[in-house]
Chain A
Amino acid sequence: DVKVTQSSRYLVKRTGEKVFLECVQDMDHENMFWYRQDPGLGLRLIYFSYDVKMKEKGDIPEGYSVSREKKERFSLILESASTNQTSMYLCASTGGLGSPLHFGNGTRLTVT
């Protein structure tokens, strides 16, 4: 069974801090994604990666960056956290065409 693990379930950070959200998958998936989930707005794609060291902007990349140094790990970085980045962040991976997305449990980030 595919496992996507997000390192933190809850995170509280201060405005201006640099924040790292980590995601690891154990199925050798090439494709990994970061979404944020907000009530009334659904899921919005922040960044995705189809290969190591490769990244593509999603729909709302502003204020975020990512890192994919190893195939199994995809990190989301908030360079300078702001209160409007308080949200639930979901990591996902997929094996490719026709494969379903497998999501992590999510990280609820609060920026104060």
Chain B
Amino acid sequence: AQRVTQPEKLLSVFKGAPVELKCNYSYSGSPELFWYVQYSRQRLQLLLRHISRESIKGFTADLNKGETSFHLKKPFAQEEDSAMYYCALTPRGGSQGNLIFGKGTKLSVKP
């Protein structure tokens, strides 16, 4: 079965500390993985996708096919990173409308 698991509902760190939001997936084929973010009172938006291999707002995520993981990392968290983060997957080449979302992790960065 296709599934995205984000084991932490809430993650709280201090400003300047490293942060890692975990994401594990279950999918029989070769998926595309994404991270979406929703800041307070803002719309949900794409943060990054694994095929781009880019760093957005200091965040990176590496697809580990062996561990079926796509953890989101940032070496030094900032208060403005506080938000709700969703990991999602879609079949490679498929429309993002077929996205399967995890249940989300709320990141709280304390001053």
CB distance from A68 to the nearest CB of B (A): 13
In the bound assembly, the distance between CA atoms of A99 and B32 in angstroms comes to 12
Q: Is the CB of B95 within 8 A of A94?
A: yes
User: How many B residues are at the interface, by size bracket?
Assistant: 20 to 34
Main secondary structure of the interface of B (DSSP, over half): loop
Using a CB–CB cutoff of 8 Å, the interface residues on chain B facing chain A are 9, 34, 36, 42-46, 49, 86, 93-97, 99, 101-104
- Total of A-B residue pairs, C-beta within 8 Å: 51
The residues of A that contact B99 with a CB separation of less than 8 Å are 45, 101
CB <8 Å contact, A43 and B86: yes
A60-112 contacts to B, CB under 8 A, are 90, 92, 94, 96-106
Contact B96 A100 (CB under 8 A): yes
A42 touches B86 (CB 8 A): yes
Known: A103-B44, A106-B43. A42 touches B103 (CB 8 A): yes
Partner of B101, one of A31, A42, A106: A42
Q: Is the CB of B95 within 8 A of A31?
A: yes
